[in-house]
Chain A
Amino acid sequence: MFAIRRGRRGSSSSNFTMDETVAEYIRRTVLKIPRHEIMEMLTTWDFLSKTQLQTLNMHRMKEEISQDVVKLCEENFASIKQAAILDMIYNHVYRNKRIWTVYQMTKAAGEETDSFNLADFKYKFKRSLRSALKNVTINFREYEDNAIWIRIAWGAQYSKPNQYKATYVVYHSQTPYVFVSISTLRSNMPLLCQAMVHASSYHDIHEMELRSRCLDSLKDIVFKRYSQTFQTYHPKPLQERNVAPEKVEPRIIQENKREKERIRRVNQEVFGDGIQPKLEFAQYKLETMFKGEPEMDILAEKEPFRCVVKFSSPHLLEALKSLAPAGMADAPLSPLLTCIPQKARNYFKIKERKGLLSASCLGP
């Protein structure tokens, strides 16, 4: 069926009028793409022929380019399926524009891991979602790193799917991790989780309290691909013989060389040598007792003092790593800040320890 359609490329569009919503969606998607990447993305899309792409004048206004693309799509009888694939290509390139949440799936006790079958996965996933919700658009796209990208546009019982507020799911086969980016209300999340568990033959799924814009960094954290701290036999990196010596200014004397070295060593033990995964925030919900002067009479009843502390930075873990060497914090930093990659979470709840009013711990 698809091959026949592609064979009719370039034919007159007089007998085919593309759905208005599809045309508008393609137009808006093209407008989102930076000018210098439009041609590259359209080529990756592979819906328009090379001849058709050559007719596009990239020196015109973006608005006009988008209209031209829509006309070409009309010639090729574009449906919402093709429009969604273009959106997936855009979102794969600009994945850091979305906020991703990590979910972890678990098997029942003693259950074996099945071999993964993509066709079976797609079928089960679609069937599971469509049995619960009729108006839903589902698209799949595979990438080289065993990542399956799923795009879901949700509708209601009597309304078409809203293509502008699609949910994106990235699933790595043979791993229990799912990365979800929601653009709408979380009301459809149970349906999505149910479909995911059913399609991948797992027993349960739960949110991991790990969120970021940088999808690749989230993958690095959960797949343990970042520079972890471990004892090496060569604490100092081996240098080549012809490395130029560091420029030393004889008039500048470092008084705290030992302290600097200690900070460097402690920092290396805590953070490792490599670049940290990129997270933009860490949030701590405090439910600890207020420890003030008794006469201040704040919270006379032994009620927890509830507040939220949020750390934000374009690259939070690197920022934390640089605090002690910059002389802006004591080394080592609090484990509450340094445990983020190891615990694979950046949302914490800190509660009082049972029976100990002075100490606090990490809650789930």
Chain B
Amino acid sequence: MKYWDQLSEAYNRPLKGSLDKPLEKIIFIHLATSLPLPAERDHIRPRIDLIVFMINIQSKYSFKNVEASLSHMDAKFFLGKVCFLITGAGRVNHCSVEMNAVRKLGNLHCSPVIFCELDSEGIRLATAQRLLRILQICAGHVPGVSALFFSSLMKSSIDE
């Protein structure tokens, strides 16, 4: 959870004035340790535009947790509204999860894989801004670009 906390801190910086006023007011970040989400909050939970699965590849538990959570997802989210955020890849000798397994997971679910080193404030901020841009597209705030189109665009650029 501390990884999310670090990132959400970075999320809030680009929000200050860098986005259109209406969007700034309606962004909410829901943090969860795993899926499914608790049923008691269903009635107050707004529409979800983007799901970011965070995997710390220094922990097999983290990877397994995400794998298990994916089975609780509605299939429509895989049409561009899911991405995998990988942390801990910088320290290769500490990795417990193979990079190949992470890439396979991304391919299997037709979703982009983003790498982020949370130790570096600059990278953290850049990743938060990148995710916000993806969120803008997924929420339909960028005219002419759909989530599915953007996701396939990202996927093809990674494949190349």
- Check if A255 sits within 8 Å of B61, measured CB to CB: no
Q: Which residues of A contact B27 (CB under 8 A)?
A: 251
Q: Which residues of A contact B37 (CB under 8 A)?
A: 255
Stretch from A111-119, A175-183, A284-292, A321-329 that touches the partner: A321-329
Question: Known: A258-B38, A260-B1. Is A329-B31 also a contact (CB below 8 A)?
Answer: no
Q: Which residues of A contact B1 (CB under 8 A)?
A: 260, 325-327
Q: How far is the CA of A254 from the CA of B33 in the complex (A)?
A: 9
| Interface members, chain A 306-364 (any B CB < 8 Å) | 325-329
Q: Which residues of B contact A328 (CB under 8 A)?
A: 56, 59, 61-62
Q: Which residues of B contact A255 (CB under 8 A)?
A: 30-32, 37-38, 41
- Check if A249 sits within 8 Å of B31, measured CB to CB: no
Per DSSP, chain B at the interface is mixed
| Interface members, chain B 76-111 (any A CB < 8 Å) | none
Question: Known: A327-B62, A327-B65. Is A253-B30 also a contact (CB below 8 A)?
Answer: yes
Interface residues of B, count at CB 8 A:
21
Q: Nearest CB to that of A256 among chain B residues?
A: B33
- Check if B61 sits within 8 Å of A251, measured CB to CB: no
A301 located at the interface, meaning its Cβ lies under 8 Å from any Cβ of chain B in the complex: no
| Interface members, chain B 12-65 (any A CB < 8 Å) | 12, 15, 27-34, 37-38, 41, 56, 59, 61-62, 65
Among B2, B31, B61, the residue within 8 A (CB) of A252 is B31
B8 located at the interface, meaning its Cβ lies under 8 Å from any Cβ of chain A in the complex: yes
Contact with B along A246-268 (1 / 0, CB 8 A): 00010111111011100000000
Q: How far is the CA of A255 from the CA of B30 in the complex (A)?
A: 6
- Check if B30 sits within 8 Å of A329, measured CB to CB: no
- Check if A251 sits within 8 Å of B38, measured CB to CB: no
B23 shortest CB reach to chain A, Å:
12
Among A249, A256, A260, A329, the residue within 8 A (CB) of B61 is A329
Among B2, B38, B56, the residue within 8 A (CB) of A256 is B38
- Check if B33 sits within 8 Å of A251, measured CB to CB: no
- Check if B33 sits within 8 Å of A260, measured CB to CB: yes
Contacts A253-B30, A255-B30, A255-B37 known; 9 new A-B pairs at CB < 8 A? A249-B12, A253-B28, A254-B31, A255-B38, A256-B32, A326-B1, A327-B33, A328-B59, A328-B61
Shortest beta-carbon contacts, A-B, top 10: A255-B32, A256-B33, A328-B59, A253-B30, A252-B29, A327-B1, A252-B8, A327-B33, A255-B37, A255-B30
